[in-house]
Chains A and B, each alone.
Chain A
């Protein structure tokens, strides 16, 4: 039951993502596309530090209404302490087969002019979907505009319990409850 709902949510988020893309296709001059990006997550547990990253970020920013959407495929994460760990991550925790990506879509709260060069600290509000569970989140992001291209970076925490990722008690000491996530992305006009 729960997984079905999660699946629906996942579909809806996917749909929203497609809508963002398609709706703005016509006026794509105000659309920024993610050209290059990197996302790193780190788990600081008492007995083990786990770090994994992915370069395969996809995303769009619509300047007109300050909305955005970012997606990363779970299977593209690399850099675990062992290949077995990577397998566990995909099979047991994030359940890649059921929920193959993590998404974050929403809007930028602060009104900023992305055409002007400069560094801006802004808040984004949106739905963070991990493991099929959507959370309403406000994430602090730094936007750096350098001659048309935009570099977005930020840091946030994903609480495993918020996304119904349960950790067996036996590996409690090896996986942190709160996972730190860092990301950087370069957006350019299409």
Chain B
């Protein structure tokens, strides 16, 4: 620089220095660039539902880090080649922290994670892990157990109905938790299940809810349905109803039993913290009440004070780990003992659950 400036007129030299300084400034700014976070969601972000809950979790990250993170969200992307292409583009765009919001993003996401060891991946509902790839799931069954207790108190027909998406372990274990909770209060209660084999068919979900009501159920559980389809049927028909992920109380102001909500904020914030600190570790994140991820709220005021106290006590016991939803004795639908008294079902058996507990009337599709 010195040798050059001697040969050039002063003015030009000054300009060059200015440019150089500006360049320096620019590069300092670059080193403190915000963390690029990419979010891929399977359905549109509505006021309620799965994608909404994930988006709320990301909002908490934004709130904590402000301008230090830059979130770009792509919603309503079907699992498959389209999702793979977008994930690749996210990597190409330099996004460092990826949140993949659906089970079917797993294999393509994992491949990208293995190819890009410096990036961090969170993946919803999956089971495969890598050093920089953590699947996460909620222990919905913990909250469903409490809902079952409330439902058992409020039902008159002693029949509860579940409209359910796909017969996968996550949903089966939630129905079983619900049934166990209900029968812990009233052993005569039974549960009917309709599998609609779709995450997303509101018309079919409503027809199923009506079929369950016609069959005598008077409490409905909307298991993994992203729209308020089942919830509105409950309100109209005068049947109590609850759902997962985010509150739909406004759709059933008088008949809302409550919500088994997922609050992903603590987990997402902790993961971003870990990524920034360089201490992120890919592992199976299975989160429940204890992690403040599964939150049960918006309880119906029709639940008696006595029952509410019992539910609160049980909530305490489950959250503290003193009690587990799948503590023995556990019987299956055929009436055979699966786990004897004093023992507890292993985590692996819950994560891969393919049987119904006693009290569920409907056979499991195999």
A binds B: no
| B contact set with A: CB distance below 8 Å | none
